[in-house]
Structure 1
């Protein structure tokens, strides 16, 4: 990824793709309300669903764990 996006850049990225926030959320199986909150800065994306949304939008680097994975099974960062 070339860099971390700001909220404004993430919104512009969605617009450039012709996707609404609702469509993005459906496509990635995340809550639309959480997606709006991350884009508005009301949620920082530190954990849970907000973390997943922020990573998918390119607003932060991170790992998205599957529901079957646990944090103890983390892969090394940078590998």
Structure 2
């Protein structure tokens, strides 16, 4: 069974994109109506991001492919 967690490379790339935008994870979370703890968990690969809020955050962060309603 393949590992369902986002890859470390994808999480690192998302953290770098936030840095390039000049945003902290907390600021990004607040701008996109997420709790900072959810965003930190997604960025650190602690959530599988299969459904719900973590999936939505991962898609918007560019960690995984998918579609979300705005």
The two structures have a TM-score, normalised by structure 2, of 0.81
Rg larger for = 1
SS in 2 for 1:6: helix
Larger relative contact order (CA 8 Å, sep ≥ 6): 2
CA distance in 2, matches of 1:8, 1:34: 16
Moved over 3 A (4+): none
| RMSD after superposition | 1.3
In the alignment, structure 1 segments of 5+ residues that lack a partner are 67-79
Q: Deviations over 1:9-57 (max 9, x none)?
A: 1001000110000110011101110100011111021111000100010
1:61 corresponds in structure 2 to 65
Which ranges in structure 2 are unaligned for 5 or more consecutive residues?
1-8
Aligned to 1:9: 13
